[in-house]
């Protein structure tokens, strides 16, 4: 996806690949954005080459190509659909909590056919995620992007995305009428998923199976700081002092954990890192890492 996006930007701008990649990296690092199409208007290389132009409009074809490629490739990890169905049929409340923006996430979840398995889906708003004032309270607002589940977005974040703020997870739990100690969050990032959940008083399960595609990544770690961090962590170059409450090697492992400790509620987590009764909640990472 990243390769196709960059190639299209090079073709449509006439700029060399190295400059485009450098601009994308700069946009990610300085604007608290997560999706590749959102980097277009913040790319300093494109801004310098096309001053005063509406970059999103000029390079709309590159953004559309990214979305189409993502839609074609997006699929849940092996066993995730079955795991979610079993949790749902067992009476568990399920929430999906994602860094992706609301519009993109809704398209992917409808394409994967998993939106009906969740009670609530929580994501970022469309566009930049920086509030005008760091004194503004973080809020969840309901939106309608045609999903079967309730869809909420986190607004007025003073910096970063939703996973930088345990308060967002606390607000999500309040919407579900679930106490933090009754919840579990399942995610493939030790810091942004597991440690964040633990700061909110939620049990953090590390979905190690979410790292299965990291070995196939070549271009993405160069230009996406989030993915670079994950790769460094995965290959042992980053010492992360996070202790998951459980380590999941397959999606079905969460079911085993629930069978073993069946006195609390649960919540799995999805893109995204470290205890449980019949009324459990789950927040799950939304898709395969690309």
Q: Which of 37, 56, 72 is the last residue of a domain?
A: 72
Q: At 155, list the tokens.
A: 């607004």
Average pLDDT, the chain: 78
pLDDT band of 103, cuts 50, 70, 90: confident
User: Do 263 and 162 share a structural domain?
Assistant: yes
Beta bridge partner(s), residue 143 = 151
Work out the end-to-end distance of the chain between its first and last CA atoms, rounded to an integer number of angstroms.
Answer: 7
The count of structural domains within the chain is 2
Q: Is 290 part of any domain?
A: no
More confident residue, 151 or 67: 151
Q: Does 210 score more than 80 pLDDT? A: no
Pick from 231, 210, 206: which is nearest to 219 by CA?
231
User: Do 185 and 259 share a structural domain?
Assistant: yes
SS3 103: helix
E strand or H helix that includes residue 179: none
Q: Is 156 part of any domain?
A: yes
Q: Does 265 score more than 50 pLDDT? A: no
Average pLDDT over residues 84-92: 88
User: Do 158 and 15 share a structural domain?
Assistant: no
User: Do 126 and 13 share a structural domain?
Assistant: no
Give the highest mean pLDDT range of 37-46, 104-113, 250-259: 37-46
User: Do 167 and 100 share a structural domain?
Assistant: yes
Of the ranges 115-124, 154-163, 271-280, which one carries the lowest mean pLDDT score? 271-280
Give the CATH number of the domain where residue 177 resides. Answer: 3.40.50.1000
More confident residue, 136 or 94: 94
pLDDT tens, position by position, 167-192: 889 999 999 999 999 999 999 888 88
Q: Is 56 part of any domain?
A: yes
- Helix-strand-coil split of the chain, %, nearest 5: 50, 15, 40
Q: At 281, list the tokens.
A: 């909640």
Of the ranges 22-36, 111-125, 138-152, which one carries the lowest mean pLDDT score? 22-36
Q: What gap in Å lies between CA 51 and CA 32, rounded to an integer?
A: 22
Q: Does 274 score more than 80 pLDDT? A: no
Q: What gap in Å lies between CA 110 and CA 244, rounded to an integer?
A: 31
Pick from 54, 92, 72: which is nearest to 266 by CA?
92
Sheet strands (E) in the chain: 93-101, 120-124, 139-143, 150-155, 184-187, 203-207, 246-248, 281-283
Distances (CA, A) of 82 to 95, 185, 213, 274: 16, 18, 20, 23
Do residues 270 and 193 make contact, with C-beta atoms less than 8 angstroms apart? no
Residue 260 burial (C-beta neighbours within 10 Å; 0-12, 13-18, 19+): exposed
User: Do 103 and 230 share a structural domain?
Assistant: yes
User: Do 199 and 59 share a structural domain?
Assistant: no
Q: Is 173 part of any domain?
A: yes
Which positions ≥6 away from 218 have C-beta within 8 Å?
none
pLDDT at res. 40? 93
Q: Which of 16, 42, 72 is the last residue of a domain?
A: 72
E strand or H helix that includes residue 212: none
pLDDT tens, position by position, 189-204: 888 889 999 999 999 9
Other C-beta atoms lying within 10 Å of the C-beta of residue 9: 28
User: Do 231 and 120 share a structural domain?
Assistant: yes
Which positions ≥6 away from 209 have C-beta within 8 Å?
77, 78, 188, 248, 249, 250, 251
Q: What gap in Å lies between CA 242 and CA 276, rounded to an integer?
A: 20
In which domain, by residue range, is 12 found?
2-72
This model's pTM is above 0.85: no
User: Do 135 and 96 share a structural domain?
Assistant: yes
User: Do 240 and 263 share a structural domain?
Assistant: yes
User: Do 106 and 7 share a structural domain?
Assistant: no
Q: Is 289 part of any domain?
A: no
Q: Which of 26, 50, 72 is the last residue of a domain?
A: 72
Pick from 226, 181, 206: which is nearest to 35 by CA?
226
pLDDT band of 89, cuts 50, 70, 90: confident
């Amino acid at each position: 996806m990243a390769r196709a996006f960059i190639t299209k930007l090079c073709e449509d701008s006439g700029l060399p690949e190295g400059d485009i990649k450098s601009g994308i990296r700069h946009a990610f690092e300085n604007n608290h954005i997560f999706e590749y199409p959102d980097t277009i208007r913040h790319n300093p290389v494109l801004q310098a080459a096309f001053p005063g132009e509406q970059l999103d409009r000029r390079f709309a074809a590159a953004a559309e190509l990214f979305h189409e490629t993502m839609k074609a490739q997006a699929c849940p990890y092996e066993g995730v659909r079955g795991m979610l169905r079993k949790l749902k049929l067992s009476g568990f409340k399920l929430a999906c909590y994602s860094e992706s923006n609301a519009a993109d996430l809704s398209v992917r979840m409808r394409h994967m056919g998993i939106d009906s398995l969740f009670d609530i889906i929580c994501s970022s708003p469309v566009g930049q995620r920086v509030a005008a004032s760091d004194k503004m309270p973080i809020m969840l607002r309901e939106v309608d992007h045609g999903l079967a589940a309730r869809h909420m977005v986190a607004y007025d974040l003073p910096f970063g995305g939703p996973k930088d703020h345990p308060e967002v997870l606390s607000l999500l739990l309040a919407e579900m009428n679930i106490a933090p100690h009754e919840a579990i969050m399942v995610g493939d990032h030790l810091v942004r998923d597991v440690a964040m959940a633990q700061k909110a008083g939620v049990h953090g399960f590390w979905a190690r199976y979410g790292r299965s595609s990291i070995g196939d990544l070549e271009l993405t770690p160069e230009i996406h700081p989030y993915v670079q961090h994950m790769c460094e962590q995965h290959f042992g170059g980053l010492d992360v002092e996070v202790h998951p409450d459980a380590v999941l090697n397959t999606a079905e492992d969460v079911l085993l954990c629930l069978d073993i400790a069946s006195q609390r509620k649960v919540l799995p987590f999805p893109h995204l890192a470290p205890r449980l009764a019949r009324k459990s909640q789950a927040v799950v990472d939304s898709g395969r890492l690309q």
